[in-house]
Amino acid sequence: MKKILIILALLPVLFLAFATFIYKLMNSETFQIAGEIIPRVETNEKVVALTFDDGPSENADEILNTLKEKNVKATFYVMGENIEKFPEESKKIFTEGHELGNHSYSHQRMVFKSNQFIRDEVDKTNALILQLGYDKEITFRPPFGKKLIGLPMYLKSKNIKTITWDVEPQKALGADVSADQIVEYVRNTTKPGSIILIHPWYGEKNASRDSIEGVIDELKADGYQFLTVSELLKK
């Protein structure tokens, strides 16, 4: 009897421990249960990858012109439904020398979803990227960085790498932040081999978009060179 009472008393504790474990697993940028997940690259060389999530949007020219002026190549994790809305902008990203990655079709949390849903989100977006004429390896970045079992298993079966990040100003600083604060945060947290995540696409005024120039200038001043994700993975 006593034993049963002890077990009953422990159940909420065990449940909480399990729920915490699942939550951490779902949100981890450095671990998943199957396949490769890459938040950064181990190197002593001062190289980084600048990555942009979501989009594209009508703000493509502004972002691409900044990168062109600064002679920097970046990696864009785009959403399938936005490729359909902005095919010319999507094409322009890689014809100007940048890389495209898959950020799902509709940007939903890819946890507690059916295998069919996961497959559709990944495959539809890869097909749209290929239809644009893109012919390089396509890596995947989970929406909200969330994954649990189905997504890593599927990506592994298709030999698709999961790319996360180790520098994300928006999550650390919150939404109400200035471009200068973003630049300062990125400068302070970037290390050789870092993958930097910026959300530049939406809104007429966007501090993340405005920070791109400063991020590039400051990191260049610190001796960093910008590579695309595939170039960084070769280091």
Binding site for Zn ion (CB under 5 A): 53-54
The Cα–Cα gap between 31 and 65 comes to 35
Catalytic residue among 54, 103, 166, 199: 199
Per DSSP, 161 falls in state: P
Which is nearer to Zn ion, 35 or 200 (by Cβ)?
Answer: 200
Q: Considering the complex, what minimum distance in angstroms separates the CB of residue 144 from Zn ion?
A: 6
Which is nearer to Zn ion, 124 or 224 (by Cβ)?
Answer: 124
Rounded to 10 deg, the angle between the 87-95 and 60-70 helix axes is 10
- Give the CA distances from residue 63 to residues 93, 102, 117, 169, in Å, rounded to whole numbers and listed in that order: 10, 19, 32, 18
Task: Report yes or no: 210 and 177 within 8 Å, Cβ to Cβ.
Answer: no
Which is nearer to Zn ion, 170 or 189 (by Cβ)?
Answer: 170
Q: What angle do CA 230, 234, 235 make, to 5 degrees?
A: 125
Token pair for residue 19? 């729920």
Task: Report yes or no: 63 and 100 within 8 Å, Cβ to Cβ.
Answer: no
98 is catalytic: no
Q: Which residue is nearest to Zn ion (CB)?
A: 53
53 is catalytic: yes
Q: Considering the complex, what minimum distance in angstroms separates the CB of residue 112 from Zn ion?
A: 18
Q: Considering the complex, what minimum distance in angstroms separates the CB of residue 225 from Zn ion?
A: 26
Which is nearer to Zn ion, 77 or 185 (by Cβ)?
Answer: 77
Q: Identity (one letter) of the amino acid at 89?
A: E
Q: Considering the complex, what minimum distance in angstroms separates the CB of residue 100 from Zn ion?
A: 14
Catalytic residues: 53, 199
